[in-house]
Amino acid sequence: MNWMPGIIFIVLFVIASFAVDPEQDQDAEVEARTYLEYLNNDMAKRANDVAMAEWEYATHLTNDTLKRKLAVSSEYAKERKKHWLETIKFPWTTFKDPDIKRQFKKYSILGSAVLPEEKRARLEVVVSEMESIYSKQKLCEFGDRKKCNLSLEPELTEIFATSNNSNELKYYWEEWRNSVGRSVRDLFKEYVILSNEVAKLNNFTNNADFWIDDFEEPVEQFEEEIAHLWSQLQPLYKQLHAYVRKKLVAVYGENVISRTGPIPAHLLGNMWAQSWNNIYNLTVPYPGKQSVDVTPQMKQQGYTPMKMFKLSEEFFTSLNLSAMTESFWKKSIIEKPTGQDIICHASAWDFYDGEDFRIKQCTEVNMDELLTVHHEMGHIQYYLQYRHLPLIYREGANSGFHEAVGDVMALSVRTAKHLRKIGLLSDQLEEDPQADINNLFNTGLDKIAFLPFGYIMDLWRWGVFKGTITPENYNCQWWKLRLEFQGLEPPVNRLEKDFDPGCKYHTIADVPYIRYFVSFVIQFQFHRALCIKAGQYDPANPTRQPLHECDIYQSTEAGNLLGQMLRMGSSKPWPLAMEAITGQRKMDAGPLLEYFQPLQKWLEEDNAKTGELIGWKASDKHCVPTEEDLEKVFEKEKEQEEGSQADVTTTANPEVQ
């Protein structure tokens, strides 16, 4: 989590008197540098206060901690506004020193503190209330509606990961959305209004443009770039979708899932169908082969959350990167506490004093959580590497970079090669091409399946902030995107009083999501560059050491290259940080496609053998404004069905005219 504004831009007036005399101009820059030193130090102390109050609230969801959080945040906003008024007095747009100019540019956006205090406080309350509803929600059991103590984490997450009962999954899918989505819908509408007001007061057209400014590109250019990346990745996704659908038809039958239609969203092993790796056992290409899901081995070997975190730390130190600080181990929460409400969503925290970094995670012992541990510790590693920078630069080159770092480590951790090294797979088994496809497929259920979800989460919110998606069609536009991009349908018909996008944490917590899509693209660019540096991949001979088998563990050469980029923070535009590690400045889908090329070839051949439809037909599930509209749809369908039956009867009995 970051409490300072992201990468920012605003055109401000220039005070002409500063620009006339070169000596005066130079004096202004000297004064500006002194001012920035004071500003960064002061804001770091205040950001620490805010982070402390936020941590207390996130780990103890009580009215008292909420009041404390709101009070500290209010004080921070007042001081931030005071500093902002001083900042904009400087003629920073005329400065010659690019570093001073960049810091002023980033400080010249005020963020939510630009609102009148009453509205700013209300915005924070609205988001906090939505987070509280989401985090405290408990559902009744499928088999016993009198027992109502199931939380999202770990109980519901575990049910979606392990149950093959489609009725049970449908029940929990619908109950979660009835309980959370409908409860936050009105709050979300208020949040949108206030967020857009923040954006406009910061000289952006809407909050979508404000969010996209993090990437330091014109809005239209960025949107086109993301759309182009998706167009390159979509064929691979559709092959995976067709194969998974075929396998699920074999499990559940065509009365539950159509052989040619969208996949019902409750059958994919995850509450939001964003990652499909939990249905690996139902869809594995070659059953019976050794699996890289080492959850059984972890439990057999007595793994604990602490052991998982220590293992992750050792991965980073093997690359010549930093160990965790002493306070990290003292203050992090890595297991769900008993007897207190907590926001269980895993997160990494920077307290802006150069020593205090923490992770909050309700860790369970399984392979998926092991990868999450590496992801969160990747955030901490980034914090550690750029802690020497002025406060305003202590963030990722862009938000996608921050998400990518830990995932790059996880790409190595999930290889059979690495799991053998750390004793979670037998090193006596020979390499097997079929087991290799299984492993790559398992990775694809996570990485490929996520891509359209990572895109539409913000494609939907961009539309909301821009006003092209309105409260009158929030939910139906959401399902339109889910069908178009993911090929998914709801297990039951949906109404506009439902608010399914609000059942995802990031939607209600004011967290932009396109960073994850960007991360899933650029992490493969990073991985490829690091593997080349480690001597484990040769682009001229990709079959000798395939990219998906690379493990950079213990390569100080790779670690030094990564560390060089991490230490830049946001002191330079992200294309320069990209260049530092990959040698080029663009986001590129090529390395991801290169990584999955053997799987794509296998999927294309297997789908062709069974004549699968690559893509999906329209859904027979509906999203309409009201129950009355749904009744009209049913009546129309009934009339059409009766008409079709009449046509069949006439054809079968030609004498009946």
The whole-angstrom separation of Cα 578 and Cα 529 is 10
Output the CA–CA distances (angstroms, integers) from residue 422 to 140, 301, 607, in the order listed: 40, 12, 36
CB 280 within 8 A of CB 289: no
Q: CA-CA distance, 308 to 354, in Å (whole number)?
A: 24
Give the HSE-up count for residue 155: Cα atoms under 13 Å, Cβ half-sphere: 16
Question: What count of residues does the chain have?
Answer: 657
Q: Which amino acid is at 494?
A: R
Q: Residue holding tokens 């080159």? A: 397
CA atoms of 327 and 311, how far apart (whole Å): 18
426-432: list long-range contacts, CB under 8 Å, 24+ apart: 426/290, 429/290, 432/289, 432/290
Kind plus residue range of the DSSP H or E element containing 349? strand 347-350
Feature table: binding site for Zn(2+): 375, 379, 403
Interatomic CA distance for residues 213 and 203, integer angstroms: 11
Q: Is 402 a catalytic residue?
A: no
The H-assigned helical ranges of 255-302 are 280-283, 295-300
Distance (Å) of CA 383 to CA 46, 246, 378:
17, 44, 9
Could you please report the per-residue DSSP string of 120-178?
A: HHHHHHHHHHHHHHHHH--B--SS-TT---B-IIIIIHHHHHH---HHHHHHHHHHHII
Structure-token pair, residue 147 = 């027992």
Q: Let me know: does 160 contact 272? Beta carbons within 8 Å.
A: no
In degrees, rounded to 5, the angle at the alpha carbon of residue 189 between the alpha carbons of residues 6 and 498 is 120
C-alpha 565/C-alpha 582 separation (Å) is: 10
> Which position among 506, 557, 579, 604 bears the catalytic label?
506
Q: Which residues are annotated as a binding site?
A: 375, 379, 403, 515
C-alpha closest to that of 498 among 462, 520, 473, 519: 473
Q: Is 154 exposed, middle or buried (0-12, 13-18, 19+ CB in 10 A)?
A: middle
Q: Closest by alpha carbon to 152, among 164, 134, 131? A: 134
Q: What angle do CA 72, 73, 79 make, to 5 degrees?
A: 90
Q: Which residue has the tokens 């239209």?
A: 220
The DSSP 8-state label assigned to residue 431 in this structure reads: P
506 is catalytic: yes
Which among 54, 313, 376, 496 is annotated as catalytic? 376
Yes or no: say if 268 and 279 are a contact pair by the CB < 8 Å rule. yes
- 623-624 and 494-495: which strand pairing? parallel
Burial 550-568 (b: 16+ CB within 10 A, else e): bbbbbbeebbebbbebbbb
Question: End-to-end distance of the chain based on CA atoms, in angstroms?
Answer: 73
> Binding site membership for chloride: which residues?
515
The residues that are catalytic are 376, 506
